[in-house]
Chain A
Amino acid sequence: DAGVIQSPRHEVTEMGQEVTLRCKPISGHDYLFWYRQTMMRGLELLIYFNNNVPIDDSGMPEDRFSAKMPNASFSTLKIQPSEPRDSAVYFCASRDREGTEAFFGQGTRLTVV
């Protein structure tokens, strides 16, 4: 397996634009997590899914953020409209079941100017 695949690796966008980050988890994994990493706030859990169902989205900072998992092999994190304070590295991770390790993608570095 190629591991967790995120795209794009880098995204630069203007304030107010819509941004969509994509993630392909490892095949067969039941859990998918979205995290945001910044120097100030560290690694924050935004939302996670179990069997494509969102379980906890309490970490999503604002209504501008939304996440979907239409099937077991694909998830998106959308920011609309984007703001400069959304600039961060966004990680997706997947795990096959409870009590096991999570596998991380390489992240998407988002810069909103």
Chain B
Amino acid sequence: SQQGEEDPQALSIQEGENATMNCSYKTSINNLQWYRQNSGRGLVHLILIRSNEREKHSGRLRVTLDTSKKSSSLLITASRAADTASYFCATASLIQGAQKLVFGQGTRLTINP
């Protein structure tokens, strides 16, 4: 079974608005990562937040992590049409001395011009 669950499954907003996606997980993690996937392509890493961090920024991206609630959110500010893609959270957990990386189902984001 997959670790992360994204919410919502699909999100459609107007260009310029902010987009917020949420991720919940079930077990202890070492870090949580967000990836983006354009249609028909591989996933591309966006940002990583460690379990001892609460918030991280990268350009127009802001990620928060609440380990007590086992949840994370990804905020994309001032959205652009080019941000249209699927976004996935991935949890990294230490299993048998090695770090496993498990992805959620993803949120399909559509930015309308």
Contacts and interface: CB of A to CB of B under 8 A. Distances in A.
A43 B33 contact: no
Given A55-B95, A106-B41, A106-B42, A48 B106 contact: no
Given A42-B2, A91-B42, A107-B42, A102 B95 contact: no
Contact of A103 (B31, B45, B94): B45
Contacts of A91: 42-43
Interface string B74-113: 0000000000000010101011111111111110000000
Contact of B101 (A48, A106, A107): A48
Contacts of A99: 30-31, 48, 50, 92, 99
Contacts of B99: 31, 98-99
A45 interface: yes
Among A4, A91, A95, A102, chain B packs the most CB atoms within 10 A around the CB of A102
Contacts, number: 72
A105 B106 CA distance: 18
A44 B101 contact: no
**Interface range on chain A (Cβ under 8 Å from partner):** 20 to 34
A56 B100 contact: yes
Given A91-B43, A105-B42, A106-B42, A31 B103 contact: no
Contacts of B10: none
A93 B88 CA distance: 15
B42 A42 contact: no
Interface of B: 2, 30-31, 33, 41-45, 48, 50, 88, 90, 92, 94-106
Given A55-B98, A107-B41, 15 more contacts: A43-B105, A45-B2, A45-B101, A45-B102, A55-B95, A56-B98, A93-B101, A98-B92, A102-B33, A102-B43, A102-B101, A104-B42, A104-B44, A105-B42, A106-B42
